[in-house]
Structures are given as structure tokens and as C-alpha cells.
Amino acid sequence: MSRLNQADRPVNMGDKLWPALFCLLAFFLAWEAGVRLLDIKPYILPALSQVLNTLGDMLPLLARHSQSTLLEAVTGLAAAVGVALVLAALMDLHPWIRQGIYPLLVVSQTVPIISIAPLFIIWFGYGILPKVVVVALVCFFPVVVSLVEGMQSADCDMVNLLRVMGYSRWQVIRLVRFPAALPSFFAGLKIAGTYSVMGAVIGEWLGAVNGLGVFMTRATHAYQLDRVFAAILIIILVSLLIYAVIELLAHLAMPWYYNERRDD
């Protein structure tokens, strides 16, 4: 039996994770050593060990705040996906619809979300709705753009074949264009998923009762930066959780795509 070449050896998950873990560990060590050697005050930059101790002490409180932030992020993301699916299908029905709506989508991204978020607080109050709207606006653009571009990349011969066979436009979208757009759709959804937590925190900064954004605002006003960094670590973990769920859904929705990637 001949030996496998180095290029032909399958790469396991450990081979992919070790470089990232090494860089992360080096960053944490530099952080801890830099704070101690330079004698940086905790109200300017706390040491990593202090942040981890605070994280352990505040974990029950952070867990309660995380529930509100996670609910806002997931609800807003789901709303963004629903609207994006409908709008992408409408834009695919006729070129003039796409030409009319697509520039408006691009222009909408030039408006800073933090500048219009206070309006949602005025209109909808301090409940969950304004935060959901902020998250939906943050997540909407990458999802709808990835869907539209993915639908446009569908096999033209297959589309023409179904049209000749008498299939309607909606049937062509359902049977050909949307399946072809799934890789692009999940790529945009991963970006939107990581943005969703950020959008929820921004909404909570402007006005809320619970949430990680509220926790960070209170800790910042009290110069308790160890609590701020502890909340940031929780935000990172929540974002990674959403990303992992989307990655799992992508594997379940299009196993053929990942099988082809493994074969390549």
C-alpha cells in the first residue's frame, strides 16, 4: 500500500483549530503580562485573571441578561430572514422590480443604525420591539443580497427547461433558483447571525431594562471595566453559539454541498 502524500492526507478539525488556539493563547498571555508589567490600573485595563474572576462571580446575573439579548437577537434575525425571503423572491420575478428595489437597499445601508435607533425607542417604547427592529435592520441586508445574488447564479439551462415545460415563475424559484442560492444564503446568514447580537446590544444601549447592553452601560458608568470585559466575553460566546447553530442548519439543509467540498 502506497503512502498518502502530505497534500492528500485528510485534514482533521484539530489541524484547523490549533493555529487559532495558539494565537488566542498568545494574545491572552500578552494581555495578562502587559497589564502586570506596566502596572496598568484596573479602571483603564483590567488583567485577564481579574476579568475571569469577575465573570465567575457575575455569571448568574450575566446569564439573566444574556437571555434577553439572545431573545432579541434570534427574533430580529428570524424577522430579517422572513422579509429577505419574500423580497428576494419578488426581485427575482422581474428585472424592473430588482432594478427598482436593489439601489434602495444599498442606500439604506448608508444610514447609521445608531442614528435612527432612538426613533424606535420613541415610537415603540422600551420593550423588546425596538431592539428586534434594530436587529432586523442590521441583519437584513447581508441576507437579502446573498439570496438575490445566489438566485441569479442558478443554472440558466435548467431555468429555461422548466419554463418550456410550463412551470410558473414561483415554481422555478422554488425548484431551481432557491436551492441554487442556498450556499450564498447561508454565507450571508452567518454574517447576519454574528451581527444580530451586536444589533441587540446597540438597541439596549439606547434604552432597555434588561440585556447585556444595559449591563455594560451600568458597568461603564461605574468604571467597572472588569464587568465590561466579562460582558464582552459573554457576547462573543453567544455570537459563536448562533454561528454554530447556523452552520449546523447549513449542513442539514444542503449535505450535497459539503460532500462536494470534502471530495474536492
Q: What is the pLDDT of residue 112?
A: 80
Q: What is the pLDDT of residue 13?
A: 52
List of residues 6+ apart from 153 with CB closer than 8 A: 180, 181, 184
Confirm whether 257 is domain-assigned: yes
Q: What is the pLDDT of residue 35?
A: 87
Confirm whether 244 is domain-assigned: yes
Confirm whether 134 is domain-assigned: yes
- For residue 131, the enclosing domain spans 57-263
Structural domain tally of the chain?
1
Q: What is the pLDDT of residue 244?
A: 92
Confirm whether 33 is domain-assigned: no
Asked if 148 and 188 touch (Cβ cutoff 8 Å), the reply is: no
For 43, 51, 253, the CA distances from 48, given in Å and listed in that order, are: 13, 5, 40
Q: What is the pLDDT of residue 10?
A: 47
Q: What CATH number did the domain enclosing 256 receive?
A: 1.10.3720.10
Confirm whether 214 is domain-assigned: yes
Confirm whether 44 is domain-assigned: no
Q: What is the pLDDT of residue 53?
A: 92
Q: What is the pLDDT of residue 167?
A: 76
Give the C-alpha separation, 252 to 33, whole Å: 44
Q: Give the rounded distance of the alpha carbon of 254 from its chain centre.
A: 19
Q: Give the rounded distance of the alpha carbon of 138 from its chain centre.
A: 9
Q: What is the pLDDT of residue 245?
A: 93
Q: What is the pLDDT of residue 76?
A: 93
Confirm whether 4 is domain-assigned: no
Confirm whether 231 is domain-assigned: yes
pLDDT tens, N- to C-terminus, the chain (264 residues)? 444 444 444 445 556 678 778 888 888 899 889 888 888 888 888 888 999 999 998 899 999 999 999 999 999 999 999 999 888 888 877 778 778 888 888 887 787 877 787 888 888 877 888 889 889 988 988 898 888 888 887 778 777 887 788 777 777 777 888 888 888 899 999 999 988 998 899 888 877 788 888 899 998 888 889 999 999 999 999 999 999 999 999 988 888 777 777 766
Other Cβ atoms closer than 10 A to 43: 11
The C-alpha angle with vertex 170 and arms to 155 and 87, in degrees rounded to 5, equals 90
Q: How does DSSP assign the chain, residue by residue?
A: -PPPPTTTSPP-HHHHHHHHHHHHHHHHHHHHHHHHHHT--TTT---HHHHHHHHHHHHHHHHHHHHHHHHHHHHHHHHHHHHHHHHHHHHHH-HHHHHHHHHHHHHHTTS-HHHHHHHHHHHHTTSHHHHHHHHHHHHHHHHHHHHHHHHHTS-HHHHHHHHHTT--HHHHIIIIIHHHHHHHHHHHHHHHHHHHHHHHHHHHHHS-SSSHHHHHHHHHHTT-HHHHHHHHHHHHHHHHHHHHHHHHHHHHH-HHHHHHHHH-
